[in-house]
Each structure stands twice: as structure tokens, then as C-alpha cells.
């Protein structure tokens, strides 16, 4: 590899991946696999923190996530793709880390606080959910990761990982774990097609990478634009207009997009025409992804074989890390 940094990234298998994942981290992973040693984790254990009553959902979606990875161009020979639950060393390391952090510190984590509010747990927050930052720190450090592609909302998780790394190295007088840096995406967060907040599976406002062409048409035609732009001849607003937000991210013809914006703002351009152009743009992005996904989906057994092979590689790395951890903690009996 041209770069010695180790990248750890991944997704929770609670459904197929969507365009928000694509612009947020999947594109980065395709590039990073050629310059870094990259581990991509299918985080089924973390998915159970709020899907514990529906393990079948998590189980089924491991394959779906793997197919999406292959479809966008993640090469399983270049990136080590593995299943989190099959690396028991992660859970062991997380247990040790729990001694290095207080409950109050976990409760103050902005990312955790926000997600607890979103999921409306109230006073019934699962302990596993509260421990999420600690478990994520174990995910990263079990492979001695140094770079993690994340969105701005995940920066508190990286901060907490580094707190645990510093505490472990200081308490046990070792330099075992490197500190972690965040690789922020250059693309802005992709809003949902309804214009309310970020794109998400549970919100029902997502465009999935595997959506067929007709589904893409239907979803784009329903997208939120400018509610005050009632007549074609009326001037329209592009700020907060989801269609133009998507065009800014996905369209390659910047001059044409600028012309559309100018025309829309002075009036005389209808939403339907702009949406039809966005449909063309998105179909061009998604069609090769759909084709690759359909090709790999013909042999799900082979896809799972590749994932299990990557899991075997990750397990060896994790075993070696835990040998060093146990030695530092004098647990090497």
C-alpha cells in the first residue's frame, strides 16, 4: 500500500444502502482501498442495539449490504470486509474499555444524545445503545485503525475513541494504540427526498442504490422543491430545494445546472422539467451500480464466501491485537 494508515469503516445491516451512504462514505472507500489498508465492517452487533427483537432483519441484510459494497466498486481483494459478530475480540476489548469511561461521559456524548432523542427511548435506553461509543472504539482499535470516514455528526465518537486510546496507553504504560483521525466527506449531507433532515431508511425518504429505474422516477417526481413555486411563470427559490441540492452533488454539467438555477429563480421554469433532468442524472449514476449488483446477486453463496474470507483475515488481526492488550493488562496467564 502507498499509505500506512489503516482505515476502518462500515455500516449497520438494517437495510439496503442508499444515496446518502454513497456520497457520505462509499465513494471514499472505493478511493481509499487503493491507497490505504482498509477494513470494512458489517456492523451486525451494533445493528442489534435497536433491532434486538428482530434479529432476522439484521441477519438477512448482511448479504444486502455486501451486495451494495460490491455494486459501488469496493473490491473484496483490496478491502477486508468482515462481519462484526464473528470477531469476539471486539466484544472483549469493549469490556476492558468500559472500565476507562464513566456513565456520565457516555451520556454527554452529543451523537448518542441526539440518537436517543430520535429513537424516543425516553427512560428505556438500552445499555447496549449507551455503550455504542465504547464499542465503536473497540471496532476501530482492534485493527489499530488510524483513519475513519465519518460525517460531522460522528466526530464526537472519534473524540471519545481517542480519549480511550490515551487512557489505555497511559494507564498500562504502552504505545499500543494509535490515535484516530476522521476523514470527512467533501460532499454535503444528502437530505431525504421529502426535504426533512438527512436521508434514512427508517424515515422512508431514501433513494436506494438498488432502486429500479421506474422507482427512481417515481421518487424523484415526488421530491420536495419550493412550495411557493405554484405556477411555471413564478420565480422559484433554490435554497432548500431538494432537487437542486441533488443536482449540485450529482450533475457533472455545472454550466447547465447554473443555467437551470438562473431560469428557475427568474421564473418560467417548472419543477417537472428540473426533476426530469435530475432523473437523467441519477439514472446515469445508478444504472452501472444496479447492473453490478444484479450480477453479484446471481451467486449469493460466493458473495458470503468472500465476506467470510475477509472475516477470517480480520479475526487473525484481532487475535494479535488482543494478545498485546492482555500482555499490557497482565492477563497473559
Which value, to the nearest 10 degrees, does the dihedral of the CA atoms of residues 140, 142, 147, 149 take? Answer: -30
Cβ distance 277 to 225 under 8 Å? no
All domains of the chain in start order, with CATH: 6-191+299-328 (3.40.50.620), 213-293 (1.10.240.10)
Give yes or no for residue 299 having a pLDDT over 70. yes
When pLDDT is cut at 50, 70 and 90, the band that residue 184 belongs to is: confident
In angstroms, the CA 156 to CA 9 distance is: 16
In angstroms, the CA 221 to CA 276 distance is: 8
What does the pLDDT average to over 291-315?
A: 97
Question: What pLDDT was estimated at residue 1?
Answer: 41
What does the pLDDT average to over 131-147?
A: 93
Closest CA to 85 of 125, 127, 135, 150: 135
Cβ-based neighbour number of residue 231 at 10 Å: 9
Share of the chain above pLDDT 70, in %: 98
0.85 exceeded by the pTM? yes
Cβ distance 133 to 159 under 8 Å? no
Closest CA to 15 of 52, 51, 41: 51
What does the pLDDT average to over 279-304?
A: 96
Share of the chain above pLDDT 90, in %: 67
- Tell which wins on pLDDT, 22 or 94: 94
When pLDDT is cut at 50, 70 and 90, the band that residue 113 belongs to is: confident
Amino acid at each position: 500500500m502507498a499509505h500506512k494508515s489503516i482505515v476502518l469503516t462500515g455500516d449497520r445491516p438494517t437495510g439496503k444502502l442508499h444515496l446518502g451512504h454513497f456520497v457520505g462514505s462509499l465513494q471514499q472507500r472505493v478511493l481509499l482501498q487503493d491507497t490505504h489498508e482498509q477494513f470494512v465492517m458489517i456492523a451486525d452487533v451494533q445493528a442489534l442495539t435497536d433491532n434486538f427483537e428482530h434479529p432476522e432483519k439484521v441477519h438477512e441484510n448482511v448479504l444486502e449490504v455486501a451486495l451494495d459494497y460490491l455494486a459501488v466498486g469496493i473490491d473484496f481483494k483490496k478491502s477486508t470486509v468482515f462481519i462484526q459478530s464473528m470477531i469476539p475480540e471486539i466484544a472483549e476489548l469493549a469490556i476492558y474499555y468500559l472500565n476507562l469511561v464513566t456513565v456520565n461521559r457516555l451520556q454527554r456524548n452529543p451523537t448518542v444524545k441526539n440518537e436517543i432523542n430520535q429513537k424516543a427511548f425516553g427512560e428505556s435506553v438500552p445499555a447496549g445503545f449507551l455503550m455504542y461509543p465504547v464499542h465503536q472504539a473497540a471496532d476501530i482499535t482492534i485493527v489499530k485503525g488510524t483513519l475513519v470516514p465519518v460525517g460531522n455528526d460522528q466526530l464526537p465518537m472519534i473524540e471519545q475513541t481517542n480519549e480511550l486510546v490515551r487512557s489505555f496507553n497511559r494507564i498500562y504504560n504502552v504505545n499500543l494504540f494509535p490515535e484516530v483521525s476522521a476523514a470527512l466527506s467533501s460532499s454535503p449531507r444528502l437530505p431525504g427526498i421529502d426535504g426533512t433532515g438527512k436521508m434514512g431508511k427508517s424515515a422512508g425518504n431514501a433513494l436506494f442504490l438498488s432502486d429500479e429505474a421506474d422507482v427512481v422516477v417515481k421518487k424523484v417526481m415526488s421530491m420536495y422543491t419550493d412550495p411557493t413555486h405554484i405556477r411555471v411563470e413564478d420565480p422559484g427559490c433554490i435554497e432548500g430545494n431538494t432537487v437542486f441540492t441533488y443536482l449540485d452533488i450529482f450533475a457533472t454539467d455545472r454550466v447547465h445546472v447554473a443555467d437551470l438555477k438562473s431560469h428557475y429563480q427568474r421564473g418560467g421554469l417548472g419543477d417537472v422539467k428540473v426533476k426530469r433532468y435530475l432523473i437523467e442524472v441519477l439514472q446515469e449514476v445508478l444504472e452501472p451500480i444496479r447492473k453490478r449488483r444484479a450480477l453479484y446477486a446471481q451467486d449469493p453463496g460466493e458473495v458470503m464466501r468472500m465476506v467470510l474470507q475477509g472475516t477470517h483475515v480480520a479475526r487473525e488481526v484481532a487475535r494479535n491485537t488482543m494478545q498485546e492488550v492482555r500482555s499490557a493488562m497482565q492477563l497473559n496467564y
